[in-house]
A and B are shown apart, each in its own frame.
Chain A
Amino acid sequence: MFETLRNPRSAIREAVSRLRVLAEETDRLTLVLVVAQAFFAGGAFVSLLATRSSLATSFFFLFLVSSGVSWVLRQAVTAKILTFMMTATVLATLGLIVVFLVIEAIPVFRHTGLELFLPFDGANWSTSAGEFSLVAMIWGTVLTTLVAVVVAAPFGIAGALFISEIAPEWLKSFVKPSVEILAGIPSIVYGFIGFTILNPYVGDLFSVSPGSLFLIGLVIGLMALPTVVSVAEDALSSVPGSMKNGSLAVGATDWQTMKSVTVPASFSGISAAVLLGVGRAMGETMAATVMISHTRQLPEPTVYNVFDSTETLTTLIASSYGHVTPGELFWSALFAAGVFLLVIVTGLGIVSQIIEQRMKRKLGGKE
């Protein structure tokens, strides 16, 4: 990767020459078929982008026909081309998500400026006054995520330690699927329980209005827990057995081995798990949407009051849609919230994945 970056011009030249060799080596029919498929697929994609749907369908049909012909005549090459295109869609999807969210978010950023994200004076949310600052929502997201991480991180790491190190085999074969099933419970079910049972109960207990950030954080933390457990467990079990055995052989107990060998060796993987948990908690929508109060202000009397309720970025989007029409500043503000989430959460996901891969490479002795 770094070699290509160091000298882009020679890399391009090399690629072009390789392409030329490839073109000379393949027969003409294959070349025609491949070019036709690439052209029609590209045409379909471009006309879809330009919202010319009938043109896009025509191109798509042509693409299907040309692939069919090519499949019959040159199956192996067609398979390679098609799977390559399928791989490219993955890249294109993320690209499209980023581009379209940013495009829609630009108007509100022009209107509001940096106050959109930063707590300057007058950074308020008031649709009637035309003020669209997301500061209160960002703060709400921060508070709920903090509470969630306080729940999910220690419990998740403990769960991972239990599954990978402590539990005997029979218990492990029961606990691990259970945790996976816990991950499968839809968030709206948590939300429904929170809305009908927990909100009134906690409101009653602490004499606070329903939808306290504390409670939402607890529920979200419980939902992020399985992610933390499974990723951290993955990291722990990727520590080579020889390292653990070495420690046990010099007389250390299991716990000492865990504390001084396994956990430090997989520390980066465990922190990746926690980061991923943070991302899950931030991006969680439904449970919070049905429980929160949707007052778009900072908590009172102090901003740290987790027993008050406000709004988070995700709940803002989920609850406001239906009240807005495309092209409004409000509409654009929702996309700004989306961009913020995308950058932070997707970024966290990518970073944690890179950390994890690096750790595995290191433990595998390849670095």
Chain B
Amino acid sequence: MSEAYERSLVVEGSSAYERVSAAVVGVSFVAFLAAIGTFFGWVPLAENVAGFVAARYFGAVLVALGFAVAGLGVASRVGMFETAPDDSAGLVAAVVFGMLWFLTLGFVAQAVGIGAVGWIGALAAGVGLAYATLVSSEDIGSTFPVAGFLLFMGALFVAGAVTPESAWMSEAFEATFPGTVVIPTATIMGALLGGWTGAKAYAGYGTRGRQNGAFLLISLVVFLVLSILVLLLAFVFERGVAVVLENLIIGAGTALAFVALPVVLLSRRAYRRGIVTGTGTDAVSSYVRFAFLAVFVLLAAGLGYAFATATSLSYGSVTLEPTTAVGALPALVVSGVLLLVARAADTSTAETDREQLVARLARLVVAGLVAGALVELFVAEIGVPGVPFMPIAVAAVAAVSLVALVASYARDVPYPRVLPVTVLLWASVVAAVHVLATGDAVAVAGVGIVEGGTVNWPFLMNPSQGLGIQIGVMPAMFGTIWIVLGAVVFAVPLAVGAAVYLTEYAEDSLFTRGVDVATNGLWSTPSIVFGLFGLAFIVPRFGDSPSILASQLVLGFMLLPLVLITSREAMKSVPDEYRDASAALGVSKWRTIRSVVVPAAMPGVITGVILGVGRIAGETAPLLLVLNGPNFPGSAPGVLSSFDVGFGLQPPFIHVSNPALLERASALPYQLYAVITAGVGAEESFGWGTALVLLGVVLSFFAVSVASRRYFRRKLQQ
């Protein structure tokens, strides 16, 4: 009988061999996680579990893995199962196993006390083993060295030769290596090797086996790195969240405004595109979106309950007051965002004469309202004493547009549907500005917009020093805002201009190559070197002391290459067809750049700016040298209030100065450094809170830039 009758070409289901090797991979993975868990104290190591020290269980698992791996090798060698091993386990495996055994035996010899002689013996053994791996068939060569290691280590742990209490003193390193480090480390090594071998065996050795093994190892590494990331963020969040949220009081009206924003955005999207769309990841993300929508709607319902019963809800130290008024600033933010969305969504055009009249009228009304708001903001309140003009105008406009909205739905007239919404939103923006400018509330029976007090967030609103207050990071936050703003104002025009020149005007020359080198050089220059440069060049020329201005310039110089590189990429990726089409219409080069290239490249530029801002907002090292403010400032820098414009006879005749910019200050990352250097003077919890706020600020910049890049890329592909 020939073999063809015994073996089918296509094996259905998995063979016992595959099942055993999959089990080896699985057990290795669990052992790997458990060994890492011991470092965090999640998994016991030195404690007794069911009568034995936990370390012995690790040993037992290693021994079991060792037998299984050896069994896999033997079973393949004697031909019990069909595998396709190569003639040799390969150079990589040989080197890895040789090193492994050299180090293992060397350390054992060191521990036993035969030092130098032992290391020479270990070297010989390692080289011999590497050679043996190289010349033996793959199924033996890649399993036996691993099985030997697993069995050896496992036996040491099971027998109690190595316990969590044992310790080895190294003279060369003046450090002690305890069993609590050695046992998990050996387990991690063993688990990685066991998993690798198991994965190879699963695919029947050979080229496919190696691919399986390599992919497993690489995926494991990536998994490890990502879990470190998640752990790090979760850890900072867990430590900091209580501090940051301590004594937060938020009015239900303001909370509702913030909850309404995502509800409107998500439901609009769901309404337009359907709740579940696409396949694969798109479907998953649409489910996620739907879940978020549900959560926000539930939150809104909870807030409604708070209104209805007039009870204040509290969770931990966070309190939700049942006030129905919305703060002016939150109202401004929310209606501003909604206005942007409405404008983007507005695709309708006025067609008939009547529609055009309505549109023109609406534009006129909005312009009038905005002009009034500006007058109130910069000049004075409009109206006779006792009768404020703006709230009445706003209320009238809002009422008319509400009626128009309802009417357009009732009569099913398609045109002006977005228009009344836009006007309504403008009205609320103007109302918020009125409240901010005058301080008087615009509210009827408690519902409306008030000046403030609807959010009381001590950690973000209090100074870092003061008697009898809960200290916060407000000065540092304002410091960061001013510094980042200044850096953006300084660097972004320069970078975008340079990008325009390099992509549109310049030909390949010595100059452009020099600029290329300089850009890359600046990109990789360490931040502390920028700080030194600021100290040597900028500080003596601008006020002769560390200051906000110096920090703005230094961080601006750091931002320059980041924005330049991304802007250049963005402009390069604008298709030449655009330029050609514009040129074919007889448009001059500069007009083409201004109205075709730059607008097309804008998304990329903005993404780059946000990414760069995220990077410099967390930068600390240069600030040590050029900002160097007080450790715990009692007030924020008053940049806005100390602008001083004067006219004089001396050139340049117009003198603009701002003493606040020339003062030292703090910034969020600098504040965190101050907590560390202040030592016992500072509470560690304050540091965790600061770290969380800093992470929140920086990571939201990154998240926004990643999201915007994806959005624009997807839009380009459409």
A interface residues, Cβ below 8 angstroms from B = 1, 4, 48, 51, 53-54, 57-58, 60-62, 75-76, 79-80, 82-87, 89-91, 93-97, 100-101, 103-104, 154-155, 158-159, 161-163, 166-167, 169-170, 173, 175, 177-182, 184-189, 191-193, 195-196, 205-208, 212, 222, 225, 252-256, 276, 279-280, 282-286, 289-290, 300-302, 304-308, 314, 317-318, 321-322, 334-335, 338, 341-342, 345-346, 348-350, 352-353
A90-B561 in contact given A161-B218, A187-B620, A255-B210 (Cβ < 8 Å): yes
Q: Is B453 an interface residue (CB 8 A)?
A: no
The complex places the Cα of A216 from the Cα of B34 at a distance, in Å, of 25
The complex places the Cα of A90 from the Cα of B558 at a distance, in Å, of 11
A205-B529 in contact given A90-B515, A90-B560, A350-B524 (Cβ < 8 Å): no
CB distance from B710 to the nearest CB of A (A): 8
A83 touches B498 (CB 8 A): yes
A205-B517 in contact given A255-B210, A348-B524 (Cβ < 8 Å): no
Q: Is B211 an interface residue (CB 8 A)?
A: yes
The complex places the Cα of A57 from the Cα of B498 at a distance, in Å, of 23
B687 touches A192 (CB 8 A): yes
Chain A residues, CB < 8 A from B618: 184-189
Q: Can you name the residue of chain A whose Cβ is closest to the Cβ of B653?
A: A61
A185 touches B232 (CB 8 A): yes
Chain A residues, CB < 8 A from B510: 1, 4
The complex places the Cα of A75 from the Cα of B619 at a distance, in Å, of 38
CB distance from B503 to the nearest CB of A (A): 10
Q: Is B341 an interface residue (CB 8 A)?
A: no
Chain B residues, CB < 8 A from A101: 529, 532-533, 536
The complex places the Cα of A207 from the Cα of B684 at a distance, in Å, of 24
The complex places the Cα of A96 from the Cα of B207 at a distance, in Å, of 56
Contacting residues of chain B (536-550) with chain A, CB-CB under 8 angstroms: 536-537, 540-542
Which of B594, B619, B650 interacts with A186 by CB under 8 Å?
B619
The complex places the Cα of A185 from the Cα of B234 at a distance, in Å, of 13
Q: Can you list the 6 inter-chain pairs with the closest CB atoms, starting with the nearest? A: A349-B524, A283-B526, A186-B618, A86-B497, A255-B211, A83-B501
A192-B528 in contact given A62-B652, A161-B218, A307-B175 (Cβ < 8 Å): no
A341 touches B529 (CB 8 A): yes
Write the B87-119 contact mask toward A (1 if CB under 8 angstroms, else 0).
000000000000000000000000000000000
Q: Is B575 an interface residue (CB 8 A)?
A: no
A97 touches B529 (CB 8 A): yes
* Other 4 A-B pairs with CB < 8 A, given A289-B621, A350-B521: A80-B501, A181-B229, A321-B625, A349-B520
Q: Can you name the residue of chain A whose Cβ is closest to the Cβ of B493?
A: A86
A178-B672 in contact given A86-B493, A301-B172, A342-B525 (Cβ < 8 Å): no
Chain B residues, CB < 8 A from A193: 232, 235-236, 691
B529 touches A89 (CB 8 A): no
Tally B residues with Cβ within 8 Å of A: 114
Prevailing SS type, chain B contact patch: helix
Q: Can you name the residue of chain B whose Cβ is closest to the Cβ of A65?
A: B652
Among A255, A322, A348, max chain B CB count under 10 A is at: A255
Chain A residues, CB < 8 A from B673: 188, 191, 286, 290
Write the B476-514 contact mask toward A (1 if CB under 8 angstroms, else 0).
000000000000000001110110111001100011011
Chain A residues, CB < 8 A from B540: 51
Chain A residues, CB < 8 A from B706: 177, 180-181
Q: Can you name the residue of chain B whose Cβ is closest to the Cβ of A222?
A: B228
The complex places the Cα of A243 from the Cα of B395 at a distance, in Å, of 68
Chain A residues, CB < 8 A from B694: 186, 188-189
Q: Can you name the residue of chain B whose Cβ is closest to the Cβ of A335?
A: B532
Chain B residues, CB < 8 A from A54: 650-651
B214 touches A302 (CB 8 A): no
18 CB-based A-B contacts, threshold 8 Å: A61-B653, A75-B590, A90-B494, A101-B533, A180-B706, A186-B695, A188-B620, A193-B235, A205-B181, A206-B175, A206-B178, A305-B172, A307-B173, A335-B532, A341-B528, A345-B525, A346-B525, A353-B517
Please count the residue pairs between chain A and chain B whose beta carbons lie under 8 angstroms apart in the complex.
309
CB distance from B507 to the nearest CB of A (A): 12
Q: Is B628 an interface residue (CB 8 A)?
A: yes
Chain A residues, CB < 8 A from B652: 57-58, 60-62
**Contact segment of B186-194, B219-227, B355-363, B632-640:** B219-227
CB distance from A310 to the nearest CB of B (A): 13
Chain A residues, CB < 8 A from B211: 253-256
Q: Is B215 an interface residue (CB 8 A)?
A: yes
B518 touches A90 (CB 8 A): yes
A162 touches B222 (CB 8 A): yes
B691 touches A276 (CB 8 A): no
The complex places the Cα of A255 from the Cα of B177 at a distance, in Å, of 38
A191 touches B676 (CB 8 A): yes
Which of A87, A96, A170, A185 interacts with B501 by CB under 8 Å?
A87
CB distance from A61 to the nearest CB of B (A): 4
B175 touches A334 (CB 8 A): no
**Contact segment of B2-10, B66-74, B253-261, B696-704:** B696-704
Q: Is B588 an interface residue (CB 8 A)?
A: yes
The complex places the Cα of A317 from the Cα of B620 at a distance, in Å, of 13
Chain B residues, CB < 8 A from A352: 524
The complex places the Cα of A301 from the Cα of B174 at a distance, in Å, of 7
Q: Can you name the residue of chain B whose Cβ is closest to the Cβ of A302?
A: B172
CB distance from A114 to the nearest CB of B (A): 22
CB distance from B661 to the nearest CB of A (A): 14
Chain B residues, CB < 8 A from A79: 500, 590, 593-594
A186-B620 in contact given A96-B533, A301-B174, A341-B528 (Cβ < 8 Å): yes
B528 touches A318 (CB 8 A): yes
Chain B residues, CB < 8 A from A252: 207
Among B218, B498, B590, B628, max chain A CB count under 10 A is at: B218
The complex places the Cα of A306 from the Cα of B175 at a distance, in Å, of 10
Chain A residues, CB < 8 A from B614: 184
A335 touches B536 (CB 8 A): yes
B699 touches A185 (CB 8 A): yes
The complex places the Cα of A54 from the Cα of B669 at a distance, in Å, of 33
A189 touches B533 (CB 8 A): no
A314 touches B698 (CB 8 A): no
B207 touches A253 (CB 8 A): yes
Chain A residues, CB < 8 A from B542: 53
CB distance from A18 to the nearest CB of B (A): 12
CB distance from A353 to the nearest CB of B (A): 4
B521 touches A185 (CB 8 A): no
CB distance from B405 to the nearest CB of A (A): 39
Chain B residues, CB < 8 A from A177: 706
A87 touches B498 (CB 8 A): yes
Chain A residues, CB < 8 A from B224: 155
Chain B residues, CB < 8 A from A184: 614-615, 618, 698-699, 701-702
